[in-house]
């Protein structure tokens, strides 16, 4: 069995396949909780920290699954190219959870109500980012042999969604001037800017993972 894709389609019940699906599910949960974090900007600190801790827990679980997959790859009798392809795929997927957790942690440093002037564009950017993660989960499940969706079309849709996030990102940055900075620390402004960049990095990581799957399909199609 020469390729990762062929191996996926013949090992639907293999432990590594099950863990890969679970990893994708956890990554999506991580991003959904990020949406919950920003849904109500007037949330009190206790509730905010509760969501942040949940995101951190989910991201740690993603890391644990990634490590378990790595251990199984070492134990198994997979060919070197399959082992390498899967390791790269899981690492790219894990980056989505990493950026989500990094975004959440930074919100500890300021009051979320400061985002109110840019809330509409910010929420739209986050919405499109979450949609891209859902698409990626669907793509991985289909790549694992579960679905009938056209893989290439799904990858194209992810690329389009990431482009929409780029537009949202520009709109959010363009509206940063609406925030009254007269009573805000410059460091707080930096954190807000970094959060905006981190959300774009989530969408970038989604596209990067989808493009990697596309390359695997082209190489072994």
Average pLDDT over the chain reads: 89
Listed as ranges, residues in the chain with pLDDT below 70 are 1-13, 76-77, 145-149, 219-221
Give the model's pLDDT for residue 7. 57
Residue tagged 């930096």 (tokens): 190
List, in order, residues 6 or more apart from 13 with CB less than 8 Å away.
none
Task: Give which of 35, 57, 196, 53 is closest to 114, Cα–Cα.
Answer: 196
How far from 153 is each of 9, 108, 141, 156, CA to CA, in Å? 19, 39, 14, 5
**pLDDT at position 1:** 43
Q: Which pTM value belongs to this model?
A: 0.89
pLDDT (0 to 100) of residue 147: 53
C-alpha distance from residue 115 to each of 47, 174, 181, 196, 221 (Å): 17, 14, 12, 11, 46
Q: How many other CB atoms are there within 10 angstroms of residue 207's CB atom?
A: 22
Instruction: Give the residue extent of every domain in the chain.
Output: 4-220
Q: Which CATH class is domain 4-220?
A: mainly alpha
pLDDT at 3: 59
φ, ψ at 13 (rounded to 5°): -105, 5
Helices 45-75 and 80-106 pack at an angle, to 10 degrees, of 170
pLDDT at 220: 55
CA-to-CA distance for 179 and 110, rounded, in angstroms? Answer: 13
Residue 79 is predicted with a pLDDT of: 76
């Amino acid at each position: 069995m020469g390729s990762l894709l062929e191996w996926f389609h013949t090992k639907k019940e293999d432990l590594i396949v099950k863990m890969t699906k679970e990893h994708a599910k956890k990554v999506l949960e991580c991003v959904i909780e990020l949406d919950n974090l920003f849904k109500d900007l007037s949330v009190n600190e206790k509730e905010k920290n509760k969501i942040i801790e949940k995101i951190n827990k989910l991201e740690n679980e993603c890391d644990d699954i990634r490590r378990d997959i790595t251990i199984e790859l070492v134990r198994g009798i997979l060919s070197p190219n399959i082992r390498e392809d899967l390791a790269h795929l899981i690492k790219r997927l894990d980056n989505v959870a990493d950026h989500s957790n990094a975004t959440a942690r930074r919100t500890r440093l300021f009051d979320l109500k400061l985002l109110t002037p840019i809330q509409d564009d910010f929420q739209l950017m986050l919405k499109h980012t979450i949609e891209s993660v859902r698409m990626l989960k669907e793509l991985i499940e289909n790549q694992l042999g579960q679905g009938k969706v056209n893989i290439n079309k799904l990858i194209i849709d992810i690329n389009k969604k990431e482009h929409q996030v780029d537009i949202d990102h520009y709109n959010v940055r363009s509206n940063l001037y609406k925030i009254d900075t007269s009573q805000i620390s410059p460091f707080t402004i930096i954190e807000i800017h970094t959060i905006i960049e981190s959300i774009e990095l989530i969408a970038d990581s989604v596209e990067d993972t989808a493009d990697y799957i596309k390359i695997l399909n082209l190489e072994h199609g």
